[in-house]
């Protein structure tokens, strides 16, 4: 897996400005010879330079998991002395949907349906994978061309190979990444616009907004695609707040639209979040079928274990959810899988710190930046189970991260979680041979004799290796352990 951090030597930033906003400006650039868009951030009023960088890294980690033809791909994060903090994304030559609608006027039926379908499918995929955008609007939806260069290979974290439709293709962009989970702030405080904001967005902590907030914004976007004006056009935030919150007004819906289209859009503006449809239900109401192409997704490491599941590292589909997540990232819904024993530690990703997430994902460069900025990140645990970054790296089989953590603090090898598990036990249980070998090199045979709270040793964990159920691998693990058995 390519690391999230981009070496400044690999990135060239031109003077050609592609756009601007509250965050800063977007310029054209080249990443290892490929054309890209580079978002250059201006200083943040609430965060110092280092904290802003940490926030971007924290928000960028889950975005690397999104792999869909209608979502702009985040390629990495970079900073240098000249431009400061930058995120590098896929280049879309067609500009924003807002400018496209302004210049093309009423859309032909086929283009209207295509754009609607692509936006709804992207929103559905995003919500199915437990990501909430929170700032959907035409300005944050880009229009790509078939001639836009494909970003393939490990450098660009792609796994789908389906051919995109001919002509223009919609791409969701600008997932609001710069904000702190500790700050009580609303969308407008981080560059969002009130025109597409749901009622709950005017007085709710940003972190408490759910996927249903995106559905309200989706209704406004669909109204424009179907020939309407932007929601509450020309009104300022205070005026919009009075209309939406106090008077319970909804954005105008073109009266000339067929009844089923008006109904679908109006459903998005339900004041009770529970009454708003999902993106799939909007498509169904519009009588536009969703595509049947299979888009693979690399789940956020550890999420599947939340409900006694295991992910073996291969791309897998994610179960649909009927209820929106209450956090920006939450564990997936239950899906059929091999269950881990009750005594196995069950990861709770919503309690993970950014450093622990980076370790679990194997982003050694990101870990290094965080460690250099704040060395005590090594002492962080996930709060719920008491796992350290080394536990998570070992559980996920991230041998490079394991070695880096041990280099920084060899005492981490003795850390215990609430079950009494050491990082070595986590690696033994999941059958990560390379991690076991690395930890044995660091800690020696004494690691084999440590018992957890129930009296199990790593030998027992290897015997309990039910996740892959491959006898050959179990034998390999026991053979490696035997070399160090005292």
Please give the annotated binding residues for ATP, written as ranges: 39
- In angstroms, rounded to a whole number, what is the distance separating the alpha carbons of residues 467 and 308? 11
Tokens at 459, concatenated:
């030998």
Tokens at 311, concatenated:
């992910």
Binding-site residue numbers are: 39
Burial category of 158 from C-beta neighbours within 10 Å (exposed 0-12, middle 13-18, buried 19 and up): middle
DSSP run (H or E) holding 206 = none
Which of 399, 421, 431, 447 has the alpha carbon at shortest distance from 346? 421
Tokens 């800063």 correspond to what residue? 24
Write the secondary structure of 129-192 as one string of H (helix), E (strand) and C (coil): CCCCCCCCCHHHEEEECCCCCCCCCHHHCCCCCCCCCCCCEEEECCCCCCCCCCCCCCHHHHCC
Torsion angles phi and psi, residue 169, rounded to 5: -135, 130
By the 8 A CB rule, do 366 and 401 touch? Answer: no
- In angstroms, rounded to a whole number, what is the distance separating the alpha carbons of residues 406 and 398? 12
- In angstroms, rounded to a whole number, what is the distance separating the alpha carbons of residues 339 and 358? 25
Q: For CA atoms 288, 290, 293, 298, give the dihedral sign.
A: positive
- In angstroms, rounded to a whole number, what is the distance separating the alpha carbons of residues 481 and 486? 10
Distances (CA, A) of 12 to 32, 41, 49, 190: 8, 16, 22, 27
- In angstroms, rounded to a whole number, what is the distance separating the alpha carbons of residues 119 and 125? 10
Q: What is the DSSP letter of 88?
A: E
């Amino acid at each position: 897996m390519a690391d999230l951090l981009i070496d400044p030597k690999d990135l060239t930033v031109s003077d050609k400005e592609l756009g601007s906003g509250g965050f800063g400006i977007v310029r054209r650039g080249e990443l290892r010879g490929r054309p890209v868009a580079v978002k250059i951030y201006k200083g943040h009023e609430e965060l110092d330079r280092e904290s802003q960088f940490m926030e971007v890294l924290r928000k960028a980690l889950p975005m690397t998991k999104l792999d869909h033809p209608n979502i702009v791909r985040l390629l990495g994060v970079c900073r240098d002395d000249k431009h400061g903090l930058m995120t590098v994304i896929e280049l879309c030559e067609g500009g924003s949907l807002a400018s496209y609608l302004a210049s093309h006027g009423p859309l032909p039926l086929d283009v209207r349906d295509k754009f609607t379908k692509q936006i709804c499918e992207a929103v559905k995929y995003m919500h199915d994978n437990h990501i909430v955008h929170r700032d959907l609007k035409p300005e944050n939806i880009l229009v790509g061309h078939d001639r836009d260069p494909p970003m393939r290979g490990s450098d660009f974290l792609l796994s789908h190979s389906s051919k995109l439709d001919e002509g223009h293709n919609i791409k969701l962009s600008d997932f609001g990444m710069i904000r702190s989970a500790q700050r009580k702030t609303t969308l407008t405080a981080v560059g969002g616009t009130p025109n597409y904001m749901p009622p709950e967005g005017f007085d709710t902590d940003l972190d408490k907004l759910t996927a249903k907030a995106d559905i309200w914004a989706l209704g406004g976007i669909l109204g424009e695609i179907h020939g309407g004006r932007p929601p509450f056009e020309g009104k300022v935030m205070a005026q919009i707040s009075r209309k939406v919150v106090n008077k319970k007004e909804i954005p105008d819906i073109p009266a000339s639209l067929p009844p089923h289209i008006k109904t679908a859009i109006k459903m998005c503006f339900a004041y009770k979040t529970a009454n708003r449809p999902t993106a799939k239900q909007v498509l169904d109401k519009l009588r536009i079928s969703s595509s049947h192409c299979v888009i693979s997704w690399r789940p956020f490491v550890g999420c599947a274990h939340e409900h006694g599941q295991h992910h073996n590292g291969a791309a897998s589909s994610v179960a649909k959810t009927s209820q929106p997540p209450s956090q920006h990232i939450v564990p997936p819904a239950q899906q059929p899988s091999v269950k881990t024993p009750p005594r196995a530690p069950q990861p709770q990703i919503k309690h993970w710190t950014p450093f622990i997430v980076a370790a679990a994902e194997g982003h050694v460069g990101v870990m290094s930046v965080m460690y250099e900025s704040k060395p005590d990140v090594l002492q962080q645990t996930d709060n719920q189970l008491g796992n350290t970054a080394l536990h998570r790296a070992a559980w996920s089989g991230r041998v490079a991260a394991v070695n880096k953590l041990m280099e920084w603090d060899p005492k981490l090898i003795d850390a215990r979680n609430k079950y009494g598990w050491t990082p070595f036990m986590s690696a033994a249980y999941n059958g990560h041979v390379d991690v076991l070998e690395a930890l044995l090199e660091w800690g020696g045979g004494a690691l084999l004799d440590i018992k957890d709270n129930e009296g199990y040793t790593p030998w027992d964990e290897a015997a309990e290796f039910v996740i892959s159920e491959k006898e050959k691998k179990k034998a390999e693990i026991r053979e490696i352990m035997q070399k160090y058995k005292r």
